[in-house]
Structure 1
Amino acid sequence: MSRYIARPTTILTLLATLFLIPIAASAQSNNTESPYSRFGLGRLDKQTSHALRGMGGLTSAIRDNMIINPANPASYTAVDSMTFLFDFGLSMGMNMLTESGKRDARMVGNFDYATALIPLGKHFAASAGLVPYSTVGYRYGTRVPVPGVKDHYSAYAYKGQGNLQEVYLGFAWKVLPYWSLGVNASYLFGNLQHERRITYDIKESQNPTFLDHLRIRSVGVRIGSQGIIPISADGHQITIGFTYEPKLPMWSRQLRLQTETITGQGAQILHADTISSKSLFARPHVASAGIAYQIENKLIAGADVKYSRWSEALSDTEKSGYQGVDQWQVALGMSWVPNDRSSQYGQRIAYRAGLQGENAYLRIPNSLGGYNSYYQIGANLGLGLPLVDKRSHVDVTLGYSYLRPSSRTGLAEHYLTLGVALRFNEAWFKPIKLD
């Protein structure tokens, strides 16, 4: 007689998932040092695993039985019915800022994500995890003469920090042998803080500090579909994928605080105001489509396009100065494994490469009374390194991105990032023979 029981290593892995997600949720992000993150919701993060980032961030049509792809929940049914997947990643790198011939390099790093995927039978699967949404991180300043006071200056210091993260739970159903549907329900949460401090080099001067603390909560829905077109009996196929996210409100609570410090004395609160709103920000309408050509266990090559209607999601533009802009994102990428059954280790490695580009989701004010925007392009190289069990992998991704402002006098940014992820692949149930 045989029974199927959960393996102890699988149970430990599941417990590790439940343990790591709250730790990641409480961790402070430090994956950007961009002054552009002062506006809107900060810098939008990539909600993809390092395995997919190595392919330029392809998501819509990616359907792999060893990769968790929450960007399209229909992909969950690709997993084998007796396999449990767990993936968590971190990254570190350097951010270089350049403006008018000046440069400033800063180190960044962060715990990125933690996701898990569980089969629920032959035609159903579920996934849960924590993924990033946006990040605020900057510090810069300037020094200007005090009007009407000779040989005295005031120093302006700007600082921001915080992040928004998203916990999701998703389900997928293989409706037909070559067609799957999926849906993710998510809860977004986090805090963003901005500080502006003015300090005068005058004795007993009044030095104001303006603090803006924003707390955001929201629910979200993502619907995904994937269809497979078989080409040959030996695993050649074309996958087409689509996703859609409806516009939904974000609940925000904003604390605006002004304090004043007199040189040599303590600080006092001059003004404090708390504003709660459901119209300050919103999740935009988002739609994506992708196509991929795949040879089973050997090759994935594809292209993605994604559209986000941010022009309708940011409503506080008059007071904050910035303007929401509809965003387009495109990606091209591939992954190639020479021979996944070879005895030579180098033949079993997944070699990845990809390109991506996008426009900014907002325009920010400039000193001439107009607005500046920016564009971002990037390239990625990645490796999927199999572990001893030949099922689990370590994903290593090296990425470079260039943020180009629309004005030649604007601030440009260069990012060089190294990402590392551990991707467990465990047998969810193992047959045990009982006498």
Structure 2
Amino acid sequence: MSRYIARITTILTLLATLTLIPTALSAQSNSTESPYSRFGLGRLDQQAPHALRGMGGLTSAIRDNMIINPANPASYTAVDSMTFLFDFGLSMGMHMLTESNKRDARMVGNFDYATALIPLGRHFAASTGILPYSTVGYRYGTREPVPGVKGHYSAIAFKGEGNLQEAYLGFAWKPLPYWSLGVNASYLFGNLQHERRITFDIKESQNPTFFEYLRIRSLGVRIGMQGMIPLPTEGHQISLGLTYEPKLPMWSRQLLLQTESVTGQSTHIISADTISSKSLFARPHVASAGFAYTIANKLIVGADVKYSRWGEALSATKSQEYQGVDQWQVALGMSWIPNDRSSHYGRRIAYRAGLHGENAYLRIPNSLGGYNAYYQLGGNLGLGLPLVDKRSHVDVTLGYSYLLPSSRTGLAEHYLTLGVALRFNEAWFKPIKLD
């Protein structure tokens, strides 16, 4: 009993430690420079580890004893009962925006996630960590003539930043040899900031600035199941995976602030208002399903589909700036290891590739008075590089995504991202053998 208490204590300690990591790094968080992140909850982030992002983001049916997969908590029981896993990921890249003949390229980079997994016996395992949920990051502006004042203009600048993160604690149970169940309980938290500044080129003019500070808190639940079908050939297996997340409210607090200033003079607060709500935003119903064909320690090939009911979750906002829509996401991917026991290093590397596509969870207003939908398509290449101990790995993933608006009046975006993660595998509970 004391052994299990020690393991649970370790998990809780890790959770507290991991929660502090993104807090310390949040000031440098800059994973997007997208004007679209001005709307809703910002740009939704991937919650898959880099090892699975290299496979297009496959998660539902993936069971690997060396990969932590919090997207389906049923996968935790795939780990060896004597092994501790830790995974920490970072990313950086280039974000290019194109509209008509205009282009703008910006560098982005961010802390991605930190997760840990620990066995609790032959048929039980637990995981904890911190995952990204959404990010706000944009800087853009426009110049417009001042109504009724010939020859004068106003400069309007938009700026936003912030992110939402999710701390989770999950458990999995394998009641039958080919069936596993799991559940994650999570806490979503973070702050989003938006600013709109208007500056007139008229001397002694009153220049207003509008601020919105949004604080979000929410609880979440994710239930997962995986079934394994062994094939006649040894080591060959088909895995099926399902997950479900219920709709739950988000608690939000908005501070709306308007200030006014004259060039060279102090700034004055014109108005300030605080609004607390449990209906402005909500976590949507989410369901995913997938399958994977595996050859032990050699090949993984699979496909995923995920459905999120954002149209219902954001219906209470009644916003004229955006509209929530239900989201579909699909992924195809594979991983291949030529020979994990070879003396040749290149043959022990995991080579990964994948494709993914989705529609946005929001429709954004356009210059014609209507709304634009947009779609995102992308591809990934990845490597799983074994370290000297042959258990731990460095995952390197190169990804490209193209955000395509449904109308020619919309803004297109290109993302080129390089992700790096350390997957640490340590046999904590194996007894030391002395010769």
TM bin, normalised by shorter chain, reads over 0.9
Partner of 1:85: 85
1:40, 1:5 → 2: CA distance?
A: 46
Contact 1:398 1:418 in 2 (8 A): yes
Q: Which residue of 2 aligns with 1:353?
A: 353
Contact 2:322 2:365 in 1 (8 A): yes
Task: Assess, with a 3 A threshold, how the Cα gap between structure 1 residues 196 and 314 changes in structure 2: closer, same or farther.
Answer: same
Shift, 1:319, TM fit = 3.6
Closer/same/farther in 2, CA of residues 349 and 12 from structure 1, 3 Å limit: farther
2:22 equivalent in structure 1 = 24
Aligned to 1:41: 41
User: Given that residues 11 and 118 in structure 2 are in contact (C-alpha distance below 8 angstroms), is that contact kept between their aligned partners in structure 1?
Assistant: no
CA contact (8 A) 1:279 1:315 kept: no
Would you say the 8 A contact 2:15–2:128 is kept in 1? no
Q: Which residue in the other structure is 2:324 paired with? A: 324
Equivalent residues of 2:329, 2:357 under 8 A apart = yes
Which letter maps to 2:270? L
Contact 1:92 1:418 in 2 (8 A): yes
The C-alpha deviation readout for 1:112-163, integer Å capped at 9, x for no partner, is 0000000000000000000000000000000111111121110000000000
Counterpart residue number, 1:68: 68
Decide whether the 8 Å contact of 1:33 with 1:108 is kept in 2: yes
The code of the aligned residue for 1:364 comes to I
Q: Distance in 1 between matches of 2:353 and 2:434?
A: 48
CA contact (8 A) 1:5 1:432 kept: no
Map Cα deviations across residues 48-92 of structure 1 (whole Å, 9 max, x no partner): 100000000000000000000000000000000000000000000
Matched, 1:309 2:309: yes
Which structure 2 residues correspond to residues 130-149 of structure 1 after superposition, within 5 A? 130-149=130-149
**CA distance in 2 between partners of 1:384 and 1:427 (Å):** 20
Structure 1 stretch 146-155 or stretch 166-175: which is displaced more?
146-155
Whole-angstrom CA distance in 1 between matches of 2:16 and 2:346: 34
Question: TM-score scaled by structure 2?
Answer: 0.95
1-side partners of 2:140 and 2:90: how far apart?
A: 26
Residue 389 of structure 2 aligns to a residue in which SS? coil
Q: Deviations over 1:384-409 (max 9, x none)?
A: 00000000000000000000001112
2:164 is matched with 164
CA–CA distance in 2 between the matches of 1:18 and 1:89?
18
SS in 2 for 1:263: coil
2:107 aligns with 107
Alignment partners' CA distance in 2, 1:321 and 1:50: 34
Gap regions ≥5 residues in structure 2: none
Runs in 1 of length 4+ with deviation above 3 angstroms?
11-21, 315-320, 432-435
What does 1:240-389 correspond to in 2, within 5 Å? 240-389=240-389
Output the aligned Cα RMSD.
1.9
CA distance in 1, matches of 2:12, 2:348: 27
In 1, Cα distance between the equivalents of 2:177 and 2:11?
Answer: 30
Name the aligned partner's letter for residue 182 of structure 1. Answer: G
Distance 1:135 1:320, change over 3 A: farther
CA contact 1:25–1:165 (8 Å) conserved in 2: no
1:430, distance to aligned residue in structure 2 (A):
2.5
* Same amino acid, percent of matched pairs: 82
Per-residue displacement from partner, 1:209-237 (whole Å, max 9, x unpaired)?
00000000000000000000000352100
How many angstroms apart in 2 are the aligned matches of 1:26 and 1:310?
A: 31
Structure 1: 5+ residue stretches without partners:
none
Q: Distance in 2 between matches of 1:364 and 1:104?
A: 20
Matches of 1:51 and 1:237 in 2, distance apart?
20
1:369 deviates by: 1.5
1:13 and 1:86 in contact (8 A); partners too:
no
Q: For residues 378 and 317 of structure 1, what CA distance do their matches in structure 2 show?
A: 30
What is the rounded CA distance, in whole Å, between the counterparts of 1:320 and 1:274 in structure 2?
20
Distance 1:369 1:215 in 2: 30
**Structure 2 contact 280–317 (Cα < 8 Å) conserved:** no
Rounded Cα–Cα distance in structure 2 between residues aligned with 1:357 and 1:176: 34
Distance 1:418 1:433, change over 3 A: closer
Does the CA contact (< 8 Å) of 1:384 and 1:395 recur in 2? Answer: yes
Q: Which is worse superposed, 216-225 or 362-371? A: 362-371
Provide the TM-score with structure 1 as the length reference. Answer: 0.95
Distance in 2 between the 1:277 and 1:177 partners?
46
